[in-house]
Amino acid sequence: MERSGKQVSPAGGLFPDAAGESARGPFCAVALNRPVRREFTYVVPPRLSEGLLPGMRVAVPFGRRREVGVCVAMDVSCEIDPKRLRPIAAVLDREPVIDLELLELTRWMASYYACAWGEALAAVLPAHLKSERGARHVIRVRPAPGVGSKELSSLEERWPQQHRLLRTLLEASGPLERRDLLKRINLSLSPLQTLIRKGWIISERILAEPDELLSAEPRPRARPEELTEAQAAAVGRIGEHLTSREGRTVLLWGVTGSGKTEVYLRVIEAALEQGRGAIVLVPEIALTPQTVGWFRSRFGDVAVLHSQMTHAQRLAMWRRVRQGECRVVVGARSALFAPVRDLGVIVVDEEHEPSFKQGSTPRYHARDLAVVRAKRCGAVCVLGSATPSLESWANASAGRYDLIRLDRRVHGGDPPPLQVIDMRQEVAETRSPALFSRALITGLESVLERGEQAILFLNRRGWSPVLWCRACGETVKCRQCDLPLTYHRRLERMVCHACCEEQRPPRECPGCTSPGLRFLGTGSEKIEDGLAVLFPGIRVGRMDSDTMLRREDYERTLAAFGRRELDVLVGTQMIAKGLDFPSVTLVGIVSADSALHLPDFRAAERTFQLVSQVSGRAGRGDLEGKIIVQTVAPDHPAIVQAARHDYEAFARIELGEREALGYPPFGRLIRVVFEDADPTLVRETAERFADALFDRVAQAGGMLLGPSEAPMALVRGRVRYHLLIKAPIGSGALTCARKGLIELSAGLSRPRVVIDIDPVSML
Ligand code: ADP
Ligand code: ZN
Ligand code: ZN
């Protein structure tokens, strides 16, 4: 396709010297949401020049299409023949939708994360503002009345995609939003359209409804009369940073229950008193009505931004924040970009959470960007965690962040004891492969006897993660992806958790045709069933992404658990954080091992965090809590130190290993992933990149590793290779490698090249 707008200059040199003698008439630079790392110059026709400012959206011709972009600079000079430039078609705003502060932040983001400015801006703008006519409705789909198992089974053999679709809809407790449904089960529109034509599925456009989270009754959190000594000290010190407007970052380190949330609330009160605003980032899963209620009950009108809101709802919220009607914003990752005026404080709760990193372009880390945004606008940034990321810990140790510690729980008492069960020994002693150790069974028995509640955590959904052939030792894998299929018993299907494809469990090994296939390992579905067998009549709720199709399901299950209509809650990450139920006295981690063996240098850190975090769910009330951790690696430092509640010891050990290998926080990483259906193209391109960069990176003090197959070497039929670049802090290697990568990948349409700065996923 021909490029219509002309390049200003590669990103970074946006404002070329006024040398272009041929430049005539005002030009402006426009950032477009395209994977091209530069802005485009357009002519501003006289009738539009009045009042056009940076930060306003414009419609521009681009190739044969018309696109919406953001004007990022006015009166730029132009080095090329202006006759080849095209004029902007329309100015879409009367005043800038992106103010200068956010404009500069997105520019920084684009240069740091090596994406286009327009791509960074697209992360900031509500979807409605990204097209000229934003839709005001959502499309929902549901099964037609009377459609059920008969229709479903007729699709089973020949139309697996339609089958998957209809089944998911029949399982749901109500209509699902089309966009979410297709994304969740990884299907295109066409099987859905076929089912709609058949009359089996009904699709309806509805005006966006008010969000249940927005209208939820605030669940108050009483404002304590007095702060604890540690809290008061923390609020005082953060208050000083707030007033100084120096843009400081604070690491607030305190175990669960130490009163961090109350500190956030007080600091926000102080910011509001100064006429300033606040942003609170929490992990998506922790964005429950409970959390929102705490902030609402204290501050009244609080804007909530989360991923399941419709576009219209987001836009409405965004506008209210922009106009200053709402000065406190609570939300997941992208709420960082809320256009809060005169920002006083940014809180990042559970700052160690990997979900703050965005997994698609722009691949920003919301915690790191929060630090940057706060610094730029003189706000104080508060990073809170019981188990800080080692990056933040290192920053605090080096004095770059102010470390503030809350070292005791508000209501006193020691954190609940943690009992580690060696499952190898358990199996040896009981001579049977146990799902639940004897200690866990005894613990559950007494919980049930006393009418209390328990939470069982397992980081895997489905029944069993592996189907293994005894004869040849192979596991049954997805045909599209290099990944074992998970058995889902209720569906009677093997499901690929990468691409959502399904198949019937084979009777014999697809490799060697031997019939000796065995299920290995445990998923949440098996735990649920296991409980029912052991404790007849037990009331179990399961929360994982299989059972929680709608946000309402999540809230309903939690509410039922809160009313004590359930004895045990079984779940995946979904239940690891934020839940605060006083009558939970037992928490069982069914297997702490699943994260430990991932090919990721953060595997130990994640395991430590997970065990600590899940443990925090017990003993929140007056009752004694108990935690049981089942593992086959009881001597692993992550488990040993988590059991001792000793974060510092863990950090010391882990930092030693990281330093030896040059991993963060001692070095920065760039991960480059190459993906294509053509394996040769992928390998050769990866090698070409490596050859071109190896010496340059080394000269700048860094190190290039690879290329090699990615741990997930095949996904959806595409072969994946990756490169890793290690850049010691303070060396120029990061900048040098980033520049080289941008040059090498410019204009390359195949294979797909993903440049991930400060990667979080190593798969
Ligand atoms: P964290 O966020 O560190 O897990 P919270 O702020 O949620 O801790 O506090 C834990 C519990 O203690 C909550 O129930 C909260 O209402 C209560 N709490 C916090 N600060 C105080 C205080 N100063 N006085 C009395 N109760 C408090
Ligand atoms: Zn076999
Ligand atoms: Zn797959």
Q: What is the pLDDT of residues 722-736, one digit of tens each?
A: 999 999 998 999 999
CATH class of 138-207: mainly alpha
CB 671 within 8 A of CB 724: yes
Cβ–ligand 1 contact at 258 (below 6 Å) = yes
Cβ–ligand 1 contact at 261 (below 6 Å) = yes
Superfamily of 229-406 according to CATH = P-loop containing nucleotide triphosphate hydrolases (3.40.50.300)
pLDDT at 22: 36
> Residue 303: beta bridge partners?
329
Give ∠ CA 310-562-628 in degrees, rounded to 5: 110
Distances (CA, A) of 550 to 152, 177, 191, 695, 696: 21, 9, 21, 51, 50
Using pLDDT thresholds of 50, 70 and 90, give the confidence band for residue 17: very low
Beta strands in 386-465 (DSSP E): 402-406, 418-422, 453-457
pLDDT at 176: 87
Residue of 687, 680, 670 lying closest to 762 (CA atoms): 670
Domain limits of the chain? 20-130, 138-207, 229-406, 418-462+523-657, 465-520, 667-757
Cβ–ligand 1 contact at 524 (below 6 Å) = no
Cβ–ligand 1 contact at 405 (below 6 Å) = no
| Parallel/antiparallel/unpaired status of strands 328-331 and 302-305 | parallel
Q: What is the DSSP string of 581-630?
A: -TTEEEEEES-S-TTTTSSSTTHHHHHHHHHHHHHTTSS-SSS--EEEEE
**Which ligand is nearest the CA of 620, by number?**
1
Cβ–ligand 1 contact at 415 (below 6 Å) = no
Structure confidence by residue, pLDDT tens digits, 593-632: 888 888 899 999 999 999 998 887 777 667 788 999 999 9
**Which ligand is nearest the CA of 256, by number?**
1
pLDDT at 544: 86
Using pLDDT thresholds of 50, 70 and 90, give the confidence band for residue 136: low
Nearest CA to ligand 1 atom 16: 221
Reply yes or no on whether the pLDDT at 524 is more than 80.
Answer: yes
Tell me the best of 221, 228, 261 to mutate to test the pocket of ligand 1, counting ligand atoms within 8 Å of each CB and taking the most: 261
Nearest ligand 1 atom, CA 255: 3
pLDDT at 577: 67
- Omega before 505 within 30 of 0, i.e. cis: no
pLDDT at 134: 58
CATH class of 667-757: alpha beta
Centre of ligand 3 from the C-alpha of residue 485, in Å: 8
Reply yes or no on whether the pLDDT at 27 is more than 60.
Answer: yes
Which residue in this structure is represented by tokens 């328990």?
A: 454
pLDDT at 4: 44
Is 3.40.50.300 the CATH number for 418-462+523-657? Answer: yes
- DSSP-derived letter for residue 504 is P
pLDDT at 753: 96
Cβ–ligand 1 contact at 473 (below 6 Å) = no
pLDDT at 11: 33
What are 688's two structure tokens?
A: 């070409």
CB-count burial class (<10 Å; 0-12, 13-18, 19+) for 3? exposed
Mean pLDDT of the chain: 89
Across residues 381-409, what is the average pLDDT? 96
Structure confidence by residue, pLDDT tens digits, 709-721: 999 999 999 999 9
Spatial separation of the C-alpha atoms in residues 226 and 233, rounded to whole Å: 12
- Please, what sign has the CA dihedral across residues 240, 242, 246, 248? positive
pLDDT at 215: 52
When mean pLDDT is compared across 1-5, 193-197, 590-594, the lowest value belongs to 1-5
Nearest ligand 1 atom, CA 409: 10
Reply yes or no on whether the pLDDT at 305 is more than 50.
Answer: yes
Fold classification of 20-130 is GIY-YIG endonuclease (3.40.1440)
Reply yes or no on whether the pLDDT at 234 is more than 70.
Answer: yes
Give ∠ CA 398-400-402 in degrees, rounded to 5: 100
Structure confidence by residue, pLDDT tens digits, 165-192: 999 999 887 888 888 889 888 899 999 9
**Which ligand is nearest the CA of 264, by number?**
1
More confident residue, 545 or 334: 334
pTM for the model stands at 0.90
Cβ–ligand 1 contact at 256 (below 6 Å) = yes
Percent of the chain's residues with pLDDT above 90: 64
Rg (CA), the chain: 27
Using pLDDT thresholds of 50, 70 and 90, give the confidence band for residue 316: confident
pLDDT at 521: 87
Residue of 116, 107, 91, 121 lying closest to 28 (CA atoms): 91
Residue of 457, 456, 446, 458 lying closest to 624 (CA atoms): 446
More confident residue, 610 or 432: 610
Reply yes or no on whether the pLDDT at 286 is more than 90.
Answer: no
Reply yes or no on whether the pLDDT at 85 is more than 80.
Answer: yes
Which residue in this structure is represented by tokens 């208050």?
A: 239
Reply yes or no on whether the pLDDT at 688 is more than 70.
Answer: yes
More confident residue, 452 or 8: 452
Reply yes or no on whether the pLDDT at 15 is more than 60.
Answer: no
CB 568 within 8 A of CB 541: yes
Cβ–ligand 1 contact at 410 (below 6 Å) = yes
